[in-house]
Amino acid sequence: MLQVRHLLQQKGSLVHHIDPDEPVLAAIQSMAERGIGALLVTQAGALVGMVSERDYARKVILKGRSSRETLVREIMTGEVVTVSPADSVEACMHLCTDHHVRHLPVMEDGAIVGLVSIGDLVKAVIDQQSEQIQHLQQYISG
Q: Structural domains in the chain?
A: 4-141 (3.10.580.10)
> What is the per-residue pLDDT for 131?
80
pTM: 0.87
User: Mean pLDDT, 10 residues at a time, over the chain (142 residues)?
Assistant: 93 94 98 96 95 95 94 96 97 96 95 95 87 80 78
Q: Which of 48, 70, 68, 50 is nearest to 59 (CA)?
A: 70
